[in-house]
Amino acid sequence: MSGKLSKRLENRGKRLLNALLLKLLPRPEGSQLPENFGKILVLRLDQRIGNGILLLPLLRAIRESRPEAQIHLVLHAPVSRLIENYTRGLVDVFWRYDQARLLANPFRFVQWAWRLRRERFDLILSSHNPDNFSLSQALLGRWCRPKLLVGFRWKESPQYYHLAVPSSAEKHYSDAQLDLWRQFDPHVKLQWGGLEVAEPLVKEKFAEWNLSFPENRALLWLGATGDKVIPPHLLAFLYEQIRKQTGLEVQPALGPADRALLERLPGWMREKTVLWNRDLEDTAVFFRAHRLFVSGDTGPMHLAVALGLPTLTLFVSSKMEQYGYHDGEHHFALRLSGTEADREQIQKTLRRLAGRVHHEH
């Protein structure tokens, strides 16, 4: 069965299940805001690494607003381990969601779900896209029977939540996630970053990998999916301009899922490109050793920002307003137009980043 057909059947099944549940499942009764926030669960079952990393501002906002609360997190296992290892005091209890392992054994999944339910959460925030609805998350949230279940307002979602929050896909994704918490602290502001990798660990790992430590290097991440790939005609220009405008050496790299892109690269760049094939925690260490991160719109870009690296992101087709980072100082996002103006914008932006890169060094 083709992937597209399988996906269509899956979506049709979800629609039928949703229609049935809307008739059978009682709407949650109105609930007052908890007097205290003893236990808060942030819930996300999505397997995309970038979207998991984009939850960091929400977790930081909750911790700063309610330092006394016990914060739990259900998240895709690799991202969960990343946050557990490279943050301090942000989350108290991690519930690593290893979907393949849990769903392969229904008894194991039921045990996991029962343990989650026994926590008796005061508040559950169901984190999903603000312009979408996750039926699986809503059902798991209902199963846990919290005092208050909160998610985004989208189509039938108010039938499942105590509180359905309006937000928008026209704002940055992390800022939209903060809307879930603004119901309790309306003054929270978006703060990027949050992951900390100690320099001694970086040097230790590079020695373990038998790699030379990149003292003065930018990372040019070539990997991306579909129409998010940086246009091939810009690659040589981008490589040379990073060197010329910032004075940094350039390390091209991509992940194993993007191996096919190697064949599209000029021969000289293919020889210089690292095929990075380690887990997410090691990838964070690898990224942290560099001084600048340049890429298209791709999950690793969110990791670079969370690590505090200066970034330049080139957007080809996806929504720059929703997924781009642009503060005019530390992070820059450019929409490629396919014209000569692209080159001028890249040169100008790299010159501005050069001052930031050398200042932080």
Residue 76 sits in a domain whose CATH number is 3.40.50.2000
Last residue of a domain, one of 129, 155, 182: 182
* Residue 96 within any structural domain of the chain: yes
In this prediction, residue 115 carries a pLDDT of: 96
Q: Residue 323 in contact with residue 297, Cβ under 8 Å?
A: yes
Last residue of a domain, one of 122, 148, 182: 182
Instruction: Evaluate if residue 277 carries a pLDDT over 60.
Output: yes
Average pLDDT over residues 269-286: 94
Contacts 24+ apart (CB under 8 A), 346-354: 346/234, 346/237, 346/238, 346/241, 346/312, 346/314, 347/241, 347/245, 349/312, 350/241, 350/242, 350/245, 350/246, 350/312, 351/245, 352/328, 353/245, 353/246, 353/292, 353/310, 353/312, 354/245, 354/246, 354/247
In this prediction, residue 11 carries a pLDDT of: 58
Q: Rounded to an integer, what distance in angstroms lies between the CA atom of residue 301 and that of residue 324?
A: 9
Are 167 and 91 within one domain?
Answer: yes
* Residue 155 within any structural domain of the chain: yes
* Residue 178 within any structural domain of the chain: yes
* Residue 11 within any structural domain of the chain: no
CA gyration radius, the chain = 22
Query: What secondary structure letter does DSSP report for 7?
Result: H
In this prediction, residue 1 carries a pLDDT of: 46
Are 204 and 173 within one domain?
Answer: no
In this prediction, residue 6 carries a pLDDT of: 53
193: helix, strand or coil: coil
In this prediction, residue 281 carries a pLDDT of: 96
Please list, in sequence order, all residues whose beta carbon lies within 8 angstroms of the beta carbon of residue 259, skipping any fewer than 6 positions away. Answer: 275
Give just the sign of the alpha carbon dihedral 243, 249, 254, 259: positive
Are 212 and 120 within one domain?
Answer: no
Are 281 and 318 within one domain?
Answer: yes
* Residue 171 within any structural domain of the chain: yes
215: helix, strand or coil: coil
Are 143 and 269 within one domain?
Answer: no
Are 224 and 124 within one domain?
Answer: no
| Residue tagged 């246009």 (tokens) | 231
The pair of three-digit structure tokens given for residue 328, joined into one six-digit string:
């005019």
Q: Which domain holds residue 307?
A: 199-360
Q: What is the share, in percent, of the chain residues with pLDDT greater than 90?
A: 70
Q: Rounded to an integer, what distance in angstroms lies between the CA atom of residue 201 and that of residue 281?
A: 12
Are 210 and 117 within one domain?
Answer: no
Are 66 and 145 within one domain?
Answer: yes
Are 173 and 211 within one domain?
Answer: no
* Residue 309 within any structural domain of the chain: yes
Q: Between 86 and 359, name the one with better pLDDT.
A: 86
* Residue 274 within any structural domain of the chain: yes
Which tens digits make up the pLDDT trace of 85-144? 999 999 999 999 998 898 888 899 999 999 999 999 999 999 999 998 888 999 999 999
47: helix, strand or coil: coil
Q: Rounded to an integer, what distance in angstroms lies between the CA atom of residue 109 and that of residue 59?
A: 25
Average pLDDT over residues 265-277: 92
In this prediction, residue 73 carries a pLDDT of: 98
Reported as type and span, the H/E element at residue 75 is: strand 70-76
Which tens digits make up the pLDDT trace of 201-247? 999 999 999 988 888 999 999 988 777 888 888 999 999 999 999 99
The pair of three-digit structure tokens given for residue 77, joined into one six-digit string:
């296992």
Last residue of a domain, one of 182, 208, 223: 182
98: helix, strand or coil: coil
Are 219 and 112 within one domain?
Answer: no
Domain count for the chain: 2
Q: At 232, phi and psi to the nearest 5? A: -55, -30
Are 342 and 248 within one domain?
Answer: yes
What are the E-state strand segments in 200-335? Answer: 217-221, 249-254, 274-275, 292-296, 311-315, 331-335
Which tens digits make up the pLDDT trace of 8-28? 655 565 556 555 555 556 666
* Residue 103 within any structural domain of the chain: yes
Are 178 and 203 within one domain?
Answer: no
Average pLDDT over residues 297-321: 93
In this prediction, residue 357 carries a pLDDT of: 79
The CA-atom distances, in angstroms, between 177 and each of 78, 171, 220, 226, 333 are 20, 10, 29, 26, 20
